[in-house]
Structure 1
Amino acid sequence: MGGKKESVQQLDDTYSASQDALSLLAENAELSDQDGRGVAFRRAAAVMKSLPEPVTSMTQLRGLPCLGEHSLRVIRDVLENGASREVESMKQSKQYKALKVLTGVFGVGAKTAARWIREGIHTLHQLRNSGHTLNRAQQAGLEHYDDLNQQVSKAEAEAIQQIVEEVVASVLPGAKVTLTGGFRRGKLMGHDVDFLITHPEEGKEVGLMSKVVSWLESQGFLLYQKTTRNSYLVSDDSPALPPSNMDRFERCLSIFKLAQDQPHRAKQLGALPLDTAEHRRGDSGLQTDQDSCSQRIQTPGGQEDTKPWRAVRVDLVVSPISQFAFAVLGWTGSKLFERELRRWAGQEKAMSLSSHALYDNKKRKYLQASSEEEIFAHLDLEFIPPSERNA
């Protein structure tokens, strides 16, 4: 009996190793700015993940889509040897390690990382001593590197949500805050936290973001923030934007200062008007940078004690209610699921889908939707709940 359990475990481990190997190849391609290869490996990994039982023979994969020669070669290697030699070699390569480290800096993309590597920069220490002038995002990313490369728990995301909801409600009663991304798909851990904000009355959301950001900044919640305006313009006779995972909503990319006692502190916000004298003085009763959110504390021995807060990546996005269903769908993900959904809309339905709208290219008109279910219905698809969109 024990031998049977051990055999099943070995099958599961091999099955998982195949998915992991393909995912690592996808990651390496994306880090190397080879998005096409990255998508191919992501699709192959998704196919493996969707199979009802572990793969024990290559014959089980005959006729399956999205499994190219390269992916099949990797899977065969895992089945025969327990691991992919190509992937193991890649993981040990200086290039891969450097790309992982440098793109882990908030504000640094694949192209910037590749340029630094060509200049001989492979570590954070080398970057700090390189003399490079970093932009504000990169400076913040380097300063808070360890925190930002640590996963965020759902409990932490919900603590931040409580803060954001209280602030939004005090600024614009009736406004709605929705936690999106992986947490909406049921994941317990994530890399960042994304919120969509709207109001049931079209146009009421205008001006909301600046007030919310101003409040969060005044209370010491934001270590970094960059806000961009809504640049989406709707055209009556054609899609304003091509189908893409990029959108043009008003957005605040931020690094949030999350205190260990954040849930308790969230209750202190109350519903103070944004323009009160107390808010202008930063004296709303909420603890600020100068108290519980202090930096690392020096112990008598000169060593740093654990700081009572951590930095977390948080995106705030404001959407008009008319576009909210599309925004929720787009921001829920996963990236591969969204890509395939847009591909289906374009190739099978002659429609253009974005996080703003769905446009019927044959009828030459936008299709309205007030829920995700309505969008799936327009696409002649059965509704897929968020928990099943992890691709």
Structure 2
Amino acid sequence: MFHTPIVPRVRKRSKPAEADVPRRDEVKFEDVRLYLVERKMGRSRRSFLTQLARSKGFIVEDILSDEVTHVVSEDSQASSLWKWLKECAPKNLPNMLVLDISWFTDSMREGRPVAVETRHCIQDTLPTLPEDSPPTPVASVSPYACQRRTTTENNNKIFTDAFEVLAESYEFNEIEGPCLAFRRAASVLKSLPWAVQCLGATQDLPCLGEHTKAVIEEILQYGRSFEVEKILSDERYRTLKLFTSVFGVGPKTSEKWYRRGLRSFSDILADPSIHLNRMQQSGFLHYGDISRAVSKAEARALKNIIDEAVHVITPDAILALTGGFRREKEFGHDVDFIVTTPELGKEESLLPIIINRLKKQGILLYSDYQASTFDMSKLPCHRFEAMDHFAKCFLILRLEGSQVEGGLHRAEGDSRGWRAVRVDLVSPPMDRYAFALLGWTGSRQFERDLRRFAQVERRMLLDNHALYDKTKKEFLAATTEKDIFAHLGLEYIEPWQRNA
């Protein structure tokens, strides 16, 4: 039972000099909407605190609506507070921050919404609702990235950046389980339309284990993860991170160089026993350019170059920009394209002719062509392969500044009129185009979960080549990505919502 406390009578005092300033409650914090719980607080105190908050630019709602982001209470009995909140049953309750009055007083003192810490949160201590209580709607988050819409806007970057470092560290140590666990956890947090501000908010989220929650709690409490900081200062991690940033150098080569005592690029290049392949030589030669991000404007300029080369060869060619730029990212490490032609079989000769044309234009700095090994009779493949069997080429192209709208994305102090950019081209047959487009668009975690969903939930096998129904024992045809989603019984996710 909640009782309104007796508020002592306060002697009226004359207003200070600042009363001459006209009162105006200007809203400063649009994204924060408070609701002050009157129970235990009392009507008079709630009215006073509401006026105080509004005078400092906060929005304070009079009723507990789905617009509320922060619920503030003086009730020290968490169980009774949460029982009352659940009886009110706002749909957005799982996403609301339920906070102790200490957060409110800290915010009033600072004149802004302070970061929510664990000590501010009033945790839900009710294991289950009574049978006669109405069910509380829960904002369900799927464990599969292919059932979540993830844009480029990441509200939880402080956590996902930490998870990516931990995942990469496990990858360098060839420990697959925790590596995938942290990548899945990062993917879930990236999809959230709200920022995690207390550990209780992660209670119903999938793919978050004890380790990931411990990292979240540490960041919430201290603003950083000491485990991540230790990794970032570790010599082996930093060296492997540096070496794998070179085009053509993978984790195993990096580990081999590290074990030989090499710690820098100059160590590698000065060691006569190190024999670099062509790709690695080009990687070191153009490192300053290709280790730098490629802008969206530069990707568009490269598409114009490739488009012109392709359509000179065959007017009916189909060219699609894929990868991160198709997902509407502003920057990427390289630029990926799919190129094909409606006439089956004709696509096999496209890439060598394109490479030759780029070479004649004087803009081809490096090329590695891999002929098609695609064979439909060898499908379906029951194990996941990182790379498909279509014809492809890995290129480094010279991009002139005059070709880029707004100019090149330059490094500081770079006054050249051009830069080197990594470009990948893949050429599937037209009847495999939809599968290749879906696979090459990414993101990596989206594709991984899409294939896992197909296998676990639908008993199907999906890769860049085909979709196979194991129950019907047949391949399912698709001319568009939407056809593939429909076969899987999934709601279609737009490319810009696949940034998992």
SS, match of residue 195 in structure 2: coil
Give 1:20's aligned residue: 161
SS, match of residue 194 in structure 1: strand
| Cα pair distance change 1:83/1:14, threshold 3 Å | farther
Matches within 5 A, 1:1-391: 1=56, 8=113, 10=115, 15-131=156-272, 132-235=274-377, 239-240=380-381, 242-263=383-404, 306-391=415-500
The offset of 1:390, in angstroms, is: 0.4
Residues 313-364 of structure 1, C-alpha deviation per residue, up to 9 Å, x if partnerless? Answer: 1001111110000000000000000000000001111111011110111111
SS, match of residue 384 in structure 1: coil
CA distance in 2, matches of 1:26, 1:114: 17
The answer (yes or no) to whether the contact 1:22–1:44 under 8 Å persists in 2 is yes
Cα RMSD between the aligned structures?
2.2
The answer (yes or no) to whether the contact 1:346–1:352 under 8 Å persists in 2 is yes
| Cα pair distance change 1:244/1:332, threshold 3 Å | same
The offset of 1:243, in angstroms, is: 4.0
CA distance in 2, matches of 1:102, 1:79: 32
Structure with larger RCO (C-alpha < 8 A, sep 6+)? 1
The offset of 1:17, in angstroms, is: 1.5
SS, match of residue 338 in structure 2: strand
SS, match of residue 477 in structure 2: coil
Q: Tell me, which stretches of 5 or more residues in structure 2 are unaligned?
A: 1-55, 58-106, 118-153, 406-412
Aligned residues: 351
| Cα pair distance change 1:390/1:14, threshold 3 Å | closer
CA distance in 2, matches of 1:330, 1:177: 15
The offset of 1:256, in angstroms, is: 1.2
Structure-1-length-normalised TM-score: 0.85
The answer (yes or no) to whether the contact 2:320–2:338 under 8 Å persists in 1 is yes
CA distance in 2, matches of 1:208, 1:6: 63
The answer (yes or no) to whether the contact 2:301–2:403 under 8 Å persists in 1 is yes
CA distance in 2, matches of 1:53, 1:305: 39
SS, match of residue 346 in structure 2: coil
The answer (yes or no) to whether the contact 1:243–1:353 under 8 Å persists in 2 is no
CA distance in 2, matches of 1:53, 1:168: 44
Give 2:91's aligned residue: none
| Cα pair distance change 1:63/1:309, threshold 3 Å | same
| Cα pair distance change 1:390/1:213, threshold 3 Å | same
CA distance in 2, matches of 1:165, 1:15: 38
Amino acid at match of 2:267: Q
CA distance in 2, matches of 1:305, 1:67: 44
Greater CA drift, 190-199 or 88-97: 88-97
State which structure, 1 or 2, has the greater radius of gyration over its C-alpha atoms.
Answer: 2
Greater CA drift, 3-12 or 15-24: 3-12
Give 1:276's aligned residue: none
Identity of aligned residues (%): 45
The offset of 1:129, in angstroms, is: 0.9
Amino acid at match of 1:27: E
CA distance in 2, matches of 1:63, 1:202: 49
The offset of 1:88, in angstroms, is: 1.0
The answer (yes or no) to whether the contact 1:327–1:355 under 8 Å persists in 2 is yes
The answer (yes or no) to whether the contact 2:348–2:391 under 8 Å persists in 1 is no
SS, match of residue 159 in structure 1: helix
Residues 29-76 of structure 1, C-alpha deviation per residue, up to 9 Å, x if partnerless? Answer: 334444433221111111122234222222222232111221111111
